[in-house]
Amino acid sequence: MKRPFVTKEQVENIVKKYPTPFHLYDEEGIRKNAEAVKKAFSWNKGFREYFAVKATPNPYILKILNEYDCGCDCSSYTELMLSKAIGVTGHHIMFSSNDTPKEEFVYADKLGAIINLDDFTHIEFLEDAIGHIPETISCRYNPGGVFKLSNGIMDNPGDSKYGMTKEQLFEAYKILKSKGAKNFGVHAFLASNTVTNEYYPQLAKQLFELIVELRDETGCDIKFVNLSGGVGVPYEPDKKGNDIFEIGEGVHKAFDEILVPAGLGDVAIFTEMGRFMLAPYGCLVTKAIHEKHIYKEYIGVDACAVNLMRPAMYGSYHHITVLGKEDAECTNVYDVTGSLCENNDKFAIDRKLPKIDMGDYLVIHDTGAHGFSMGYNYNGKLKSAELLLKKDGDVQLIRRAETPKDYFATFDCFDDLKIEE
């Protein structure tokens, strides 16, 4: 059973200053998890988690993670800007993008970021953009086909737009070396949101074998392997979560079996676990404001898909707790909906929940990653505030809620258009 990290009494105090809906993050949980990840891979001297900024692009969250030596995995100009704003530059930035505009490569190079090339053709594009090939560089690998574990097919890399084929990868490293690159990395992402301790060790084994072959054939000095993301969280309450220590030890075993005998025992392990790092330590708090009794029973809340897109976009499950009724019997079946003019604006469909009364506060779990960040402004809806629940129980505003002025700000260049709140 999932239990929220915030109580009804705490929310009732919070809403006196910050009305629902809002995203709330658990500082204590974030810190404990960051420490656990660091410890699980402490056997590798060069280990670093590059938090995927796309998952939770908030400087206050990034600063907390940076205290544990986490870098920033960036994929756009503004994510690079955000990293620089909190003092993260140089090789603490991994720039992994695709279909990349010239100015983004230029800015990444200016910051000294490690550039991770997505495609073979990007070698020439990068050189034209920045005038040189960086001494430290990485390439993204796509093995094609399907990726399988003992419990079946996990994902289909062959259908993915990301990365290079093996043949392209080897040729890329030969060209990059000839153009002055000295330190190389390999990156791969083969499956999304895996809830199994097998994924990283199996991925690591494939990549470790690959870089031994790569080193032997090209003579390139492989400095790091980036296992990327894919380590997921159990959104459903009856699923068991990943054990980061078992995962770390599985990667360690493959490292000792493959890289150490090959003379590559100094290769650094990098990760980009946005979801695992943050998802369980954030929630969307919303209030029941309407009920509707037609062919189904509906509960309307003051949040909508603008605040959390995953259920509407992917049909994703997010657990819901009615605060103050955590242990009440689930006697009712509801669709929990937002107010968008779209029928997929539903946080839950045919969900068994306790009887919900108007004014009840609902916690939608596991929104700490890819929650607020995927928001948009359809129907003219405004994005919510983000709040940080501190270790001492206080609440800190870490992003204010949008106002109509924010929504209309991009029209401020027109003198004849005046919009009043």
Looking at residue 146, what is its pLDDT? 75
Dump pLDDT digits (tens) for 183-208: 999 999 888 889 999 999 999 999 99
Q: Which CATH superfamily does the domain covering 26-279 fall into? A: Alanine racemase (3.20.20.10)
Q: Is the pLDDT of residue 156 over 80?
A: no
What is the distance between the alpha carbons of residues 222 and 200, in angstroms, rounded to a whole number?
A: 19
Looking at residue 157, what is its pLDDT? 77
Looking at residue 151, what is its pLDDT? 58
**What one-character-per-residue DSSP string does 348-363 give?**
EEEEEEPPPPTT-EEE
pLDDT band at 158 (very low <50, low <70, confident <90, very high): confident
What are the φ/ψ torsions at residue 347 (nearest 5 degrees)? -85, -20
Distance between alpha carbon 259 and the CA centroid of its chain, in Å? 29
Q: How many residues does the chain have?
A: 421
Beta-bridge mates of residue 387? 24, 397
* Cα dihedral 255/257/258/262 (nearest 10): 110
CA distances from 325 to 269, 322, 348, 362 (A): 44, 5, 17, 10
Looking at residue 166, what is its pLDDT? 95
Of 293 and 191, the structure prediction assigns the larger pLDDT to 293
Dump pLDDT digits (tens) for 341-365: 999 999 999 999 999 999 999 999 9
pLDDT band at 35 (very low <50, low <70, confident <90, very high): very high
Q: Which CATH superfamily does the domain covering 8-22+282-411 fall into? A: Lyase, Ornithine Decarboxylase; Chain A, domain 1 (2.40.37.10)
Active site residues: 341
Lowest mean pLDDT segment, chosen from 67-81, 115-129, 255-269, 402-416:
402-416
Among the listed residues 380, 369, 370, 371, the one whose alpha carbon sits nearest the alpha carbon of residue 407: 380
Dump pLDDT digits (tens) for 213-262: 999 999 999 999 999 999 999 999 999 999 999 999 999 999 999 999 99
What is the distance between the alpha carbons of residues 318 and 309, in angstroms, rounded to a whole number?
A: 11
Both tokens of residue 419?
Answer: 């919009």
Residue 47 region by backbone torsions, left for phi larger than 0, else alpha for psi between -120 and 50, else beta: beta
Dump pLDDT digits (tens) for 304-319: 999 999 999 999 999 9
Both tokens of residue 130?
Answer: 């920045």
Dump pLDDT digits (tens) for 65-86: 999 999 999 999 999 999 999 9
Looking at residue 154, what is its pLDDT? 57
Distance between alpha carbon 243 and the CA centroid of its chain, in Å? 18
With a pLDDT cut of 90, the percent of the chain lying above it is 91
Residue 186 DSSP SS3 = strand
Q: Is the pLDDT of residue 152 over 70?
A: no
Looking at residue 421, what is its pLDDT? 62
Both tokens of residue 266?
Answer: 């100094």
For the chain, how are helix, strand and coil distributed in percent, rounded to 5? 35, 25, 45
271, 227 in Cβ contact below 8 A?
yes
With a pLDDT cut of 70, the percent of the chain lying above it is 98
Each domain of the chain, given as residue ranges in start order, spans 8-22+282-411, 26-279
